[in-house]
């Protein structure tokens, strides 16, 4: 049991931009199950409120906050709200992101490129900077940035998304270097293909089944399979893990 206590997050405060759905919501549930109080933020407050109602069933506090990660003022307001309510931030999970249009570089508009970069990379940068300032003062903290297996391998039509996620990886490594002396660890989680409401129909299709047949495990991942690594990265068990990109893809890229 002594070893398991390293994963106990009782009374910790976790902030999760994009935590109302997908990987972000999986992180919210995982951290709450380990005892953390959770703040879920997104542009649509009602979706945050709905998610918080479910997370609170796990016996923790869950605060919904409207935030647009592309806007500096909105991110600063998020941090101020959390500090006013809880007085600290122990864990940041940057899961807000979009994939943009699937188009080749020769056909991609600047608008599409900018929209992906502004959310996936600039949004992560703004949230990291605002929260890291709090963590430096605390002399403790965990930053978990969600990138993608696409940062490892080029894919036709995914230039903006892959470039943004590769940028998140190097942003995280730099943060790890800059924050190490303040007892703040920063790591990147890079998932491969996982089943979500958005892609389930594709994986059920003939094209999706053909793709799956080429993977070592012959299946996409389930979001629940990310819970363990999220709790590890948010807990004291990862106190000597920083600047690392962790690929979880069931061997898909092999």
Rg (CA), the chain: 18
- Among residues 25, 161, 193, 232, the one annotated as catalytic is 161
Helix (H) or strand (E) holding 42: strand 37-42
Q: Is 161 a catalytic residue?
A: yes
Torsion of the alpha carbons at 134, 58, 95 and 189, rounded to the nearest 10: 90
CA distance 84 to 73: 16
Burial of 75 (0-12, 13-18, 19+ CB in 10 A): buried
Q: How far does Cα 71 stand from its chain's mean position?
A: 18
Which residues lie below 8 Å from residue 209, measured CB to CB, with a gap of 6+? 203
Could you give the maximum distance between any two Cα atoms of the chain, in Å? 56
Residues noted as catalytic:
161
């Amino acid at each position: 049991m002594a070893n398991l206590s390293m994963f106990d997050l009782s009374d910790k405060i976790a902030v999760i931009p994009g935590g109302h759905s997908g990987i972000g919501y999986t992180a919210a549930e995982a951290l709450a199950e380990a005892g953390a109080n959770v703040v879920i933020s997104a542009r649509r407050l009602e979706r945050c409120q709905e998610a918080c109602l479910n997370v609170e069933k796990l016996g923790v506090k869950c605060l919904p906050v409207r935030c647009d990660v592309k806007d500096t003022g909105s991110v600063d307001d998020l941090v101020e709200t959390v500090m006013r309510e809880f007085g600290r931030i122990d864990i940041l999970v940057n899961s807000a992101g979009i994939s943009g249009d699937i188009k080749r570089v020769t056909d991609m508009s600047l608008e599409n490129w900018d929209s992906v970069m502004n959310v996936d990379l600039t949004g992560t940068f703004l949230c990291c900077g605002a929260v890291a300032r709090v963590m430096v003062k605390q002399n403790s903290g965990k930053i978990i940035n969600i990138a993608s297996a696409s940062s490892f391998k080029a894919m036709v039509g995914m230039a903006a998304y892959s470039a943004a996620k590769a940028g998140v990886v190097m942003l995280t490594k730099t943060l790890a270097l800059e924050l190490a002396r303040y007892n703040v660890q920063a790591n990147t989680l890079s998932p491969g293909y996982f089943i979500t409401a958005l892609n389930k129909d594709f994986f059920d299709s003939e094209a999706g089944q053909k793709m799956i047949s080429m993977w070592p495990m012959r299946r996409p991942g389930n979001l629940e399979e990310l819970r363990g690594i999220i709790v590890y990265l948010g807990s004291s068990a990862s106190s000597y893990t920083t600047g690392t990109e962790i690929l979880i893809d069931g061997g898909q890229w092999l």
